[in-house]
Amino acid sequence: MERISKTNYYLDIAQTVASRSTCLRRMYGAIIVKNDVIVSTGYCGAPRGRENCCDLGYCLREKMNIPRGERYEMCRAVHSEANAIIAAPRELMLGATLYQACIDGATGELAENIDSCQMCKKLMINAGIETVVYRNTPTEYRVARVEDWITDDDSMGKIGY
């Protein structure tokens, strides 16, 4: 039996966390890991105490035909990266890696070529996260260096979610 790589092990956990997401469009899950210890997890969902889209039975952004990557202020959810950062002490995020996976809400399949939105990239920069690993397939992934988002300001313009 071939042993799973450590990166795919963490991405499997992020994908499981994504299954808790309450978003009807895209179910994201994130985990922050430092020194082989899971520091925190986060998934997309409405702020505590507010109704989730899955409970309401609709997505306002979808109802309004808002394209992916636009008008996040209309979204009920707090993004997975933000929830993971909120749940972690900053000293444990310095130099850490954030692993992220996404399940397409319509198909239930793994979403490929995911990226973080501009706001979440800013949060990861300020949190001190060093690397982000995005799952593309059950065995393939893309690695982003957060430092590149600082030195290449154009990278912040990419559309996520």
Catalytic residues: 81
Residues whose CB is less than 8 angstroms from the CB of residue 55 and which lie 6 or more positions away in sequence, other chains included:
22
Positive or negative, the Cα torsion across 73, 75, 81, 85? Answer: positive
List the Cα angle 32/154/145 in 5-degree steps: 30
Positive or negative, the Cα torsion across 71, 74, 75, 78? Answer: positive
- Pull the structure tokens for residue 8: 């795919």
